[in-house]
Amino acid sequence: MQIYDDYKEHADFLTVYVREAHPTDEWQMKSNVKDDVCYAQPKTLEQRVAIANDFTKRFKYTMPFGIDDMSNAADLAYSAWPERIYIIDESGHIAYRGGMGPFHYKPEEARNWLAARYGAVKHETPAPSPPAMTTSTTPTSAATPSATANSSTPKTDGATPATSTTK
């Protein structure tokens, strides 16, 4: 969620939970079992809300979060399943339409769009720890160069397309 932290002063972010990507009663994945993320496809809005609440609490998800209705209006309007990123500009037009996940889901493309609009946000890479002192009589030294790198948003499994609107 680094992209959210980096650009939330410039853009509004919203993640919308749509239908379950790998429900236990349809297309269960081994990774869901390993990660203990196993849900049946919700049949009611209350079930969808319960799964969304579990997700936001379990993963300490701080980005604003919405839930698609049971007619799947957001999913149908944005081809959101299983995951997708959109940027909507100030006039309400789609400024960036990301590829459909998982294979074409590339948060770094949305980051690049935001960086072009508002400036890149760089993060310093932590310097390596100095080597432990040795009992040798030959002095040792370690260079600790300062490097910068762009962070990207970690991809989460499940149907959570993020939408960003510019402020």
**β-bridge partners, 13:** 164
| Gyration radius of the chain's alpha carbons | 20
For residue 66 the two structure tokens come to 């919405």
State the sign of the Cα–Cα–Cα–Cα dihedral 87, 16, 107, 118. positive
- Looking at residue 154, the DSSP 8-state letter turns out to be P
Question: What pLDDT shows up at residue 129?
Answer: 66
Euclidean distance between CA atoms 140 and 130, whole angstroms:
10
Task: Quote the pTM value.
Answer: 0.66
Q: How far apart are CA 129 and CA 126, in angstroms?
A: 9
CATH of domain 2-124+147-166: 3.40.30.10
pLDDT band, very low/low/confident/very high, at 143 (cuts 50, 70, 90): very low
Q: How far is CA 68 from CA 33, 92, 136, in A?
A: 24, 19, 65
Cβ neighbours of residue 100 under 8 Å, at least 6 residues apart?
79, 82, 83, 84
- On whether the CB atoms of residues 166 and 117 are closer than 8 A, the answer is yes
- For the chain, helix, strand, coil in percent to 5 are 25, 15, 55
pLDDT in tens, 5-36: 999 999 999 999 998 878 887 888 787 778 77
pLDDT digits (tens, 9 = 90+) for 93-117: 999 999 888 888 889 999 999 999 9
Between CA 154 and CA 64 the distance in angstroms is 16
Strand partners, 166: 11
Annotated domain spans of the chain: 2-124+147-166
Per-residue pLDDT of 39-65, as tens digits, reads 889 999 999 999 999 989 988 999 999
